[in-house]
Structure 1
């Protein structure tokens, strides 16, 4: 067979396998091919001198420039030039990839080897060319990060996915892949669900909607909430994301016993703290700002509070007593709640008698009409449904009747155990809610308050009867 015909046949066959192969009409037996570089595991790239590490899922294409000499394939190997643009792959790696054409040709003992060589290049690209990490100049950072993001989006848009909610097949361009878990849902379903959660203030459910997400065979962890930055990418409207971030921060502050609030009745803003910085730009609030790892309430049996410092009153000394309101900038003492009086003034905690009439009425209503979460102590009120409650703040499962912690794996065992005399077979008691069932008997702290109220009313009734007898 004529060698020229053998080279032509190999290039034609190769082009049928790789349609993107470009033959040079001005230089016979010359071809160019670009290979996608998508490592199986994203490649950590350190950009110096900033030492900024980025894990890139896609890197700029590998360019193969192939020349078939007249003596190929019988007497010599193809000439291959390998390059990237920009030049992100080290020179010694490029030389090794080019030399591999000769190694494969010798291994085959002559003959056509282009398909085997290109297949080897693609396999090495998938394996990051044997690189465990890469160090590049910071000047290349923006281009490479943007390229990886753009390629990821382009390839995703061309695929078809079954939405995890509506189960309908949708093009990737109409879908969104969750950053942490890679579950895919259509954008319409995500927007409908998250907008409703934020509108209702149920920010603890702004997380992946997959029932399998967050499950671990070794340990159950609290589901991670979506970051404001990711919500904007879905996209969720900016004003909704602002509301989400604000409510989430507010819930954190209100459940933190170390936070003291401004004593001014017209303000009552939280004290300044680095723990919960003021929200300035939600587009910059990424995963690191979202939801820290928290201990499972089950580890505490639902009765102990989370680890960490409790609010201190007596024993706080010196400048530790100074707090500044983040809203009105009032400097005040965390002990007596008066305007800041300096280090050397002795003060005492403000007692309950200093509550306003309105504050006292609110406190009385909360104590009488809510059951506290056994983990975070947030007061919860049931509007309807069974007595298996999930706290909206920390998602602890507990009994609404006695405030006992419930095992999330078997929450109804509590109501089926005869040992729990107060709650036994009372799962559906008060199903219409507190306001429609004034006569429901509770246990725990709330039950003790009920008993105390009963006997107080009885004492008042008896006293009134005695007074009536005396006046006759």
Structure 2
């Protein structure tokens, strides 16, 4: 009779656990034996380094990267690790006279043996604390809490043989759990299942895939690649009020997914903008080519599927001083033709080897040369330049020419987002851009916020200041000189 009561007590505890953990399975051959897989999802992703020569794959060890010569190894931060498998067997004397028999394993083996032994020993200690009472639920709760801190591990060094399996498990588990959740898209504000949403890798903001695709495809189609970033208004904000936004990498755009063709366009435009903004880059002298010189700074795009975050940081607005330094540096290289200077450049498109100084085909290091006159423009180029200088206002930060189609004279540069006055080209403070037009001291712009509200149609009717005003003045005196000359010619005739 006593044995039956004990047996009933063991069965009762296992049935209670099964109602709490439906995934707990009983052994058909032994009604007093059960198995439960416990999810291992650390509160903070666990840094894991994989070492090819660690030794036996079934003996993982907590790693000291310096001691194991892995300072150059890649550290992977895993959000999920293979589950901890708990096998428990309740002996006939349990719970009054004997503790449960527990066995902990993982597949593949990634928890250090000493940590496994410590976890198994805790079952005996808990049994003692419960004075021979039922304690399996308390033990499982202890294991779940320990899993949140990855059983006390701060980092992990594992053999390379388990790398692929662990990385795949973490990725699949993360996606599976994400697909089961429901999120409010931060753009359309509608509740969506995770299976139709995407979580941004860097900041974890969640949007539905349709909203991301519509926005990013439109940005890339319009060439506005500097806005291919997280759409959350809070993204990148710091406690001090500053904000640093980063562009989405091509690799992540493909994961959303965007088409390979669109992502390739994004990467090419981004690289083109960087090259155009760098005054140290020399272009091929062949008129039919004009490709950029080869450089490790902006390597030619081979496969966008391998371009990660480091290749797509947002461009910082160029300061005037840094641009001047770039220009002076480039001019100095073009001006000086000393022996030993690295003057050889190779076009990345047509592979022409040419001299950076004189732009002629490569003539060797021991030939002194002079820079080609950069003021010599073709008739077509000169006409284009004259139109731009006459009918556009340059951004005071990056010098990109801007033409207003409608609205007020407070402009925001499309390229670098600087605020400036369209009339005189002055910088405007983002906090109070309209104060410039309300200040009587600014005689050329006072009360002229809405001048040319219908747009600058290149009619030359409005009076400008700054560089554009100087062009206007030069054109006026040129026309005046021509008029006077014509009057003199008529008098002579």
Q: TM-score range by the shorter chain?
A: over 0.9
Matches within 5 A, 1:60-459: 60-218=82-240, 220-291=242-313, 303-305=320-322, 309=326, 310-312=329-331, 313-315=334-336, 317=338, 318-435=340-457, 438-459=460-481
Pair 176,308 (structure 1): closer, same or farther in 2 beyond 3 Å: farther
- Structure 2 residue matching 1:47: 3-state secondary structure: strand
1:381 positional shift: 2.7
Deviations 1:33-67, CA, capped at 9 Å, x for gaps: 11111111100001114722101011001100011
Deviations 1:357-384 (A, max 9, x none): 1222222222222222222223233333
1:17 lines up with 2:8 in the alignment: no
For these two proteins, the number of residue pairs brought into alignment is: 466
Shift of 1:75: 1.9
Match of 1:34 in 2: 37
1:463 aligned residue: 485
Secondary structure of 2:218's match? helix
Normalised by the length of structure 1, the TM-score is 0.93
CA, structure 1 residues 183+31, in 2 after alignment: closer, same or farther (shift >3 Å)?
same
**Structure 1 residue 229: deviation in Å?**
0.5
Query: Partners in 1 of 2:91 and 2:360 — Cα distance?
Result: 91
The 8 Å contact of residues 410 and 420 in structure 2, kept in 1 or not, is answered as: yes
1:201 shift after superposition:
1.0
Question: RMSD value over aligned CA atoms?
Answer: 2.1
The structure-2 alpha-carbon separation of the partners of 1:205 and 1:407, relative to structure 1 and needing over 3 Å to count, comes to: same
Q: Which runs of 5+ in 1 are unaligned?
A: none
Which residue of 1 is the match for residue 50 of structure 2? 47
Relative to structure 1, is the Cα distance of residues 336 and 296 closer, same or farther in structure 2, using a 3 angstrom cutoff?
Answer: closer
Q: Provide Cα deviations, 1:378-408, integer angstroms capped at 9, x if missing partner.
A: 3233333333333333333333222223333
Structure 1 stretches of 4+ with a deviation exceeding 6 A read none
Q: CA shift at 1:261, angstroms?
A: 0.8
Shift of 1:198: 1.0
Q: Which moved more, 1:102-111 or 1:410-419?
A: 410-419
CA drift at 1:138: 1.2
- 190-199 vs 429-438, which deviates more? 429-438
- TM-score normalised according to structure 2 size: 0.89
Question: Mind listing any 5+ residue stretches in structure 2 that lack a counterpart?
Answer: 53-69
Q: Secondary structure at the match of 1:465?
A: helix
Distance 1:316 1:177 in 2: 54
1:96 Cα offset (Å): 0.8
C-alpha distance in 2 between matches for 1:94 and 1:182 = 33
Secondary structure in structure 2 of the residue aligned to 1:28: strand
Give the Cα–Cα distance (whole angstroms) in 2 for the partners of residues 371 and 436 of structure 1.
Answer: 11
Q: Secondary structure at the match of 2:220?
A: helix
